Amino acid sequence: MRISEIKAIRKAKIPVENLFEGIKINEKTALGRAITLAESNNQNHRIAAQDLIERCLTIKSSSIRVGITGVPGVGKSTFIETLGKNLTVLGNKVAVLAVDPTSTKNKGSILGDKTRMQQLSLDPNAFIRPSPAGESLGGVAQKTKEAIIICEAAGYDIILVETVGVGQSEVAVHNMVDFFLVLKLSGAGDELQGIKRGILELADAVVINKADGNNITAANMAVKEFTRALHLNPAKENGWVTKVIACSAIENSGIQEIWTMITNYIKNNRESGYFDEHRNEQNKFWLIQTIENRLIENFYQDKAIQSELENQLKKVSQGRTSPFNAAEKLLNLAKKHTD
């Protein structure tokens, strides 16, 4: 570590060492504080957080990371609560994180609502953390990625990352997990018409939830329809063909089968080497992604660029310059600032 970095950490008065010790013995307050630190945009905090994350990475973990998505109301939190409880009973430690870039607007995040996952939140073997708020998707995703590393260092062996069914955040979550699960409902009419093909292509499994009561026949029909539709997709690069399973999160039926499917998938991928390869690919992706986010952020936060941008926008709208010329000017200005 550089001297300037050590100074920055001292200045921020963050006892990184203590936090790390707390994390290692899974002290939930230390864990919460560490994630808050990682979420901070304060420059000194970021340096301390990077130090902490580097330390966390030295702790070996054989965690499984699972992404869970679906439209609001599909049953994500009920599903996570039921699955989580099934897993903690077996002695697993489960961390639930969320990626919800919309939380900026409604001031609450998908896990922020206290009525969700009530039982799991009281479980000593579970840790639930809402989505970082006030961030762009890039920011949320990076911070969730860091939270995963911190939770793994605290011994959480199953990480569930929840996101809402809106395009880009699903892609981001897909890029940070080992298994990606899409929750769907049956009986909603033309499910297959409404399929966002892109997201289904990302799915390792499609789970038809609420397969209970009067809905069982419709759920089984939906399983058949989705299976038929998905078979038109080519197999994934590891040979996996997306599975379709029905479950009832409320009645805890089908959940065990889903978990067995996930663990079999992970076991096969570990044996074939795909598991590590895939995580490496994801790390490369996040490296590039982080650079791009940071460059964009720095660009738009620069005061001189902000005022020149306004000036250039005006010129473009008056037809006094072309958008390409304007962009060139602004980029040159940014380059001057970094030289």
User: Quick one: 65 exposed, middle or buried, by C-beta within 10 A (0-12, 13-18, 19+)?
Assistant: buried
Alpha-carbon distances of 98 from 33, 78, 83, 329, rounded to whole Å: 17, 14, 16, 39
Angle (nearest 5°) at CA 51 between 48 and 54: 150
Tell me the window of 47-55, 72-80, 93-101, 306-314 that interacts with ligand GDP (CB under 6 A). Answer: 72-80
Stretch that binds ligand GDP, among 71-79, 276-284, 299-307, 318-326 (CB under 6 A): 71-79
Of 22, 67, 70, 130, which one interacts with ligand GDP (CB under 6 A)?
Answer: 70
User: Is residue 76 near ligand GDP by the rule CB under 6 A?
Assistant: yes
**Sole window of 61-69, 73-81, 85-93, 320-328 interacting with ligand GDP (rule: CB under 6 A):** 73-81
Written as six digits, the tokens of 252 are 């805890």
Shortest-Cβ-distance residue relative to ligand GDP = 75
| Closest residue by Cα to residue 248 from 192, 195, 205, 207 | 207
Q: Give the binding range for ligand GDP (CB under 6 A) out of 96-104, 187-195, 232-240, 242-250.
A: 242-250
Q: How is 34-97 classified by DSSP, letter by letter?
A: HHHHHH---HHHHHHHHHHHHHHHTS----EEEEEEE-TTSSHHHHHHHHHHHHHHTT--EEEE
Closest distance to ligand GDP from the beta carbon of 35 (Å):
21
Which parts of 155-214 interact with ligand GDP (CB under 6 A)?
A: 209-210, 212
Which one of 171, 250, 327, 333 is in contact with ligand GDP (CB under 6 A)?
Answer: 250
Is the Cβ of residue 73 or residue 91 nearer to ligand GDP in the bound state? 73
Residue 315, classified by CB atoms within 10 Å of its CB into exposed (0-12), middle (13-18) or buried (19+), is middle
Q: What would the two tokens of residue 174 be?
A: 């897909």
Nearer to ligand GDP, 166 or 250 (CB): 250
What's the CA gap between 14 and 45, in Å, rounded? 8
Q: Identify residues 78-137 at the interface with ligand GDP (CB under 6 A).
A: 78
Minimum CB separation of residue 71 from ligand GDP in Å reads: 7
* Under rule CB under 6 A, residue 73 binds ligand GDP: yes
Detail the DSSP E strand segments found in 212-304: 243-246
Q: Is 223 in the site for ligand GDP (CB under 6 A)?
A: no
Give contact residues for ligand GDP (rule: CB under 6 A): 70, 72-78, 209-210, 212, 248-250
